[in-house]
Amino acid sequence: MAGSGPDVVIVTGGSRGIGAAIALRAARAGYAVVVNYSADADGAAAVVGTILAGGGSALAVRADVGDPDAVTALFDAARALGPLAAVVNNAGITGNLIGPLAEVPAATVRRVLEVNAAGLIFVCQEAVRRLSRDRGGRGGSIINISSTATKAGSPGTWVHYAASKGAVDVLTVGLAAEVATQGIRVNCVAPGSTNTGLHAAAGMPDRVERLNSTIPMGRGAEPDEVAAAVLWLLSAEAGYITGAVLPVSGGR
């Protein structure tokens, strides 16, 4: 049986960066938060600890979104906190490298697509199974995290990553139309250059700063600015919005 309590949001990849900012902002908005992680147990524990210290409800759950069985287990674990209301599909990787597509190892391509594209699909499938009113659910919201890298394709750096995020945009539009009558809204937030550890992990810690001159607002985003857009799309104020891809990019 599902536990009783506040509305629950699952945030995949919630242990750091944009995912952590979304989890913390969701907790402040009154959600019970499932902080999903794949490897960063310490980061997930820190996010959960911050939420609990603030009087909120949270749970860290390890699951590789590229594994559909692990995704099912993640959703099962979320029932302990209360009724599921929303899912933020944030987990994503670059393969921790920067360079031309011809030099990206096959194993990296497969893993990036497994997490960013297949994993996204697995999470959306399970979310629909749990939220759809046609399946006995109470409706809810799915937010997918894409990237404005899909606009130019990230030549010379992350073409493989940009391609995987293109799948996020297409899935958002198609799934939104498919489940609109089932009480589920599906939207997407596409961050631009953002101050997270993603760039340092790929070997270019100053990448955001290098891109500042190409951004009309002259700076990269902070993770909490992306999180604010996510929480707005989850809110009743955005109740008539579905199938949208919202850039949070400073105009780039």
Full set of structural domains in the chain with CATH: 8-248 (3.40.50.720)
Residues recognised as catalytic = 161
**Cα→Cα distances 52→30, 49, 63, 155, Å:** 12, 5, 21, 42
- What's the distance, CA 121 to chain centroid? 12
Q: Which residues contact 56 (CB under 8 A, 6 or more apart)?
A: 27, 28, 32, 33
Rg (CA), the chain: 17
Q: Which among 92, 109, 88, 91 has a CA at the least distance from the CA of 100?
A: 109
Q: Output the pLDDT for position 251.
A: 81
Q: Output the pLDDT for position 3.
A: 45
- Angle separating helix axes 159-179 and 106-113, nearest 10 degrees: 20
Q: Residue 28 CB: number of other CB atoms within 10 A?
A: 14
pLDDT digits (tens, 9 = 90+) for 133-185: 999 999 999 999 999 999 989 999 999 999 999 999 999 999 999 999 999 99
Block residue for tokens 């750096």: 157
Q: Are 37 and 62 in contact (CB under 8 A)?
A: yes
Q: Output the pLDDT for position 58.
A: 98
Assign 57 to helix, strand or coil: coil
Q: Which residues of the chain have pLDDT under 70?
A: 1-4, 196-208
- Distance between CA 62 and CA 56 in Å, rounded? 20
pTM (predicted TM-score):
0.92
Q: Output the pLDDT for position 214.
A: 79
